Amino acid sequence: MISGYFVHLLIIISIYLILALSLQLSVGFTGLLNLGHIAFYAIGAYASALLAKAGMPFWLCILAAGLLPMVFAYVLSLATSKLKGDYFALATLGFSFVIYSLALNWTNVTNGPLGLPQIPKPQILGIDFSSNINFLFLAITLAIVTYLVINMITISPFGKTLEAIRDDELAAKTLGKNTSMSKSVSLVISSFFAGVAGSLFAYYLTYIDPSSFAFGNLIPIVVITVVGGLASLPGTIFATIIIVLLPEPLRFLGLPSSLIGPGRQALYAIFLLLILLFKPKGFYGKVDLE
Amino acid sequence: MFSQLLINGIIAGAIYALIASGFSLIYSTNRFVHFAHGTVSIFGGYLLYWFYSLLGLDFWLAALFSVASTALIGYLLNKIVYSSLRKRKSSPSILLIASVGIMILIEALMLFLFGADVKTIGLIPVSKGLMLFGAFITPLQVAIVATSAILFIALYLLMNKTKVGKAMRAVSDNKDVAEIVGISAEKIYSWSFIFGSAIAGVAGILISLEQNLEPTMGTALMVKGFAGAIIGGVGSVPGAIVGSLFLGLAENFGIWYLPSGYKDAIAFLVLFIFLLFKPNGIFNSGKRVNG
């Protein structure tokens, strides 16, 4: 029983980690305050769930879950290429609302508020991932791959270009860097991993509905990037673990279940504000968000 | 049908305009997105529910208390959170993230205090409504439009005729110059939060009378206020009014073609189109914040 709960927490940590690392690429490294990350997660989850329900194999579903958000991210980055700071944040937030209302209202495809039940558990090369232990290995592997890829990007010359854009876009431009293209690529890559996380989420719960993709669900991920410190990958891992575990004691306080959700949100919010007020660069952060 | 949608659009637009003008007031002086603005407004609606429906106070007294409370909340948020962040020279993006945190906190507070189920105030029994140019409009809706109009005139007078209003405009034009001539920017930030949040409180009261209350309504409301302010041109109160009316009309005429569930999506689409093609808004105030 205890170990089952532990495995569940580790799976959630892995999924959050993929989301947070990829958000770190656009927010921390490129300086794009991307509030539309949850929409990419949603697109990935729905794409994967629909394909899996149609009997497609796991690798195809998770690949599609990564690729489809990239298309949206590219279009979104073109549309927002001239926007900065607050305006970019609000435009991407608007995008996430549009995707959410599509999930809610496009009932022919998404089944609306009732959601998509009975998503089959994944099978790879004949190995069944329906047990949580096996699924945990899958989730951790993907989280590690995400870490390695994001880390590779951030230490590459391209990663340095992204950081230059974050610190001073005009200067980066003057040095001959194609800044709008780099920002696009950064957003597109980060959307790929968000989609993969969405696919894992859909496979793990075997049921998705729009409520998992409302804007509020992005809050813990944003809190992770701030608490861990912008542009710090080790910080992100550390913060993900803290943020997932932080509200867990609420379960054992005997609160009525209707209060656990708001309790968790309140805890995240207070934690976020305390960090911003007293440790503005997070635990491992090096940079401030412009 | 046409005139009904027109009237619905104007009523929705009047409420958005209240949010937008309060938001615009805060945004143009403080230069960051106060994300919790919509949630503060909804909290005002809940306070009315508490004072009027639960405690049984006289309606006008309850409304007065609610507006005073939202103004106080705005003042305290600025004093406790934003002011300390500003002292550390935090960027507008950090202030935005902090305001998202505040929004979530207030939302959670409302859930704790009042629960997740929808609340109705039920001050005015649902009346049949008047016929006006072939459309139904209830007395409450007339009151909404009238209240908004009165507030806009008051806001206009505040901004143009009083010392505080002129100082606010000075700070939003150029903070450094304003400080050189002896205006305390910190004081002006406080005033902008007090006035902006009080207007949000009035909007919250009107919303609570017209619709059912839900704790999570604030986000969409805030983005609509932001959209109205952007469409009209940031920093211009008449702009915020025109932009919000435009948004209300676009939403209501949009559901002529699309299912009504897409109402919110239409608003964001309009915002998007303006951000792309006319980021300075209809009334170009030349005050784009942050590039």
Structure confidence by residue, pLDDT tens digits, A236-245: 999 999 999 9
A169 in a structural domain: yes
Structure confidence by residue, pLDDT tens digits, A153-211: 999 999 999 999 988 888 888 888 888 899 999 999 999 999 999 999 999 988 898 88
pLDDT at A18: 96
A86 close contact with B: CB closer than 8 A: yes
B123 in a structural domain: yes
Q: By mean pLDDT, which of A175-179, A191-195, A218-222, B201-205 is the weakest? A: A175-179
pLDDT at B290: 41
A93 in a structural domain: yes
Which has the higher per-residue pLDDT, A255 or A163?
A163
Q: Cβ distance A96 to A23 under 8 Å?
A: no
B226 in a structural domain: no
A197 in a structural domain: yes
Place B289 in a pLDDT band, splitting at 50, 70 and 90.
Answer: very low
β pairing state of A127-128 and B135-137? unpaired
B255 close contact with A: CB closer than 8 A: no
**The complex's ipTM?**
0.87
A111 in a structural domain: yes
- For all residues of chain A together, what is the average pLDDT? 88
B227 in a structural domain: no
Q: Which amino acid belongs to residue B37?
A: H
Which 3 state secondary structure label does DSSP give B136? strand
A255 in a structural domain: no
pLDDT at A68: 95
A89, A98, A268 ranked by CB distance to B265: nearest? A98
A132 in a structural domain: yes
B269 close contact with A: CB closer than 8 A: yes
Domain that holds residue B57: 2-217
B112 in a structural domain: yes
Which has the higher per-residue pLDDT, B144 or B268?
B144
**B98 CA to chain A: closest CA distance, Å?**
6
What CA–CA distance (Å, rounded) separates B224 from A204? Answer: 35
Structure confidence by residue, pLDDT tens digits, A6-37: 899 999 999 999 999 999 999 989 988 999 99
pLDDT at A160: 92
A1 in a structural domain: no
Instruction: Kindly report the number of other CB atoms within 10 A of residue B5's CB atom.
Output: 17
What share of chain A has pLDDT > 90, as a percent? Answer: 46
To test the contact with chain A by mutation, choose from B79, B224, B275 the residue with the greatest count of A C-beta atoms within 10 A, namely: B275
Place B126 in a pLDDT band, splitting at 50, 70 and 90.
Answer: low
pLDDT at B124: 64
Place A109 in a pLDDT band, splitting at 50, 70 and 90.
Answer: confident
Sort out which chain B residues have CB atoms less than 8 A from A86's CB and list them. Answer: 32-33, 92-93, 96, 289-290
Place A230 in a pLDDT band, splitting at 50, 70 and 90.
Answer: confident
Which 3 state secondary structure label does DSSP give A285? coil
B91 close contact with A: CB closer than 8 A: yes
Residues B261, A105: C-beta atoms closer than 8 Å? yes
Average pLDDT over every residue of B29-40: 90
B282 in a structural domain: no
- For all residues of chain B together, what is the average pLDDT? 85
Q: Which amino acid belongs to residue A10?
A: L
What CA–CA distance (Å, rounded) separates B28 from A130? Answer: 54
Place A283 in a pLDDT band, splitting at 50, 70 and 90.
Answer: confident
What CA–CA distance (Å, rounded) separates A162 from A189? Answer: 13
Sort out which chain A residues have CB atoms less than 8 A from B290's CB and list them. Answer: 84-87
Torsion of CA B242, B247, B249, B254, to 10 degrees: 160
B100, B279, B289 ranked by CB distance to A222: nearest? B100
Count of the separate structural domains present in chain A: 1
Count of the separate structural domains present in chain B: 1
To test the contact with chain A by mutation, choose from B97, B217, B258, B277 the residue with the greatest count of A C-beta atoms within 10 A, namely: B97
pLDDT at B286: 52
A244 in a structural domain: no
Instruction: Kindly report the number of other CB atoms within 10 A of residue B10's CB atom.
Output: 19
Q: Which residues touch A125 (CB under 8 Å, ≥6 apart)?
A: none
pLDDT at B83: 92
Q: Cβ distance A69 to A191 under 8 Å?
A: yes
Sort out which chain A residues have CB atoms less than 8 A from B291's CB and list them. Answer: 83-85, 87
B245 in a structural domain: no
pLDDT at B205: 93
A250 close contact with B: CB closer than 8 A: no
B17 in a structural domain: yes
Place A290 in a pLDDT band, splitting at 50, 70 and 90.
Answer: low
Domain that holds residue A176: 9-214
pLDDT at A153: 95
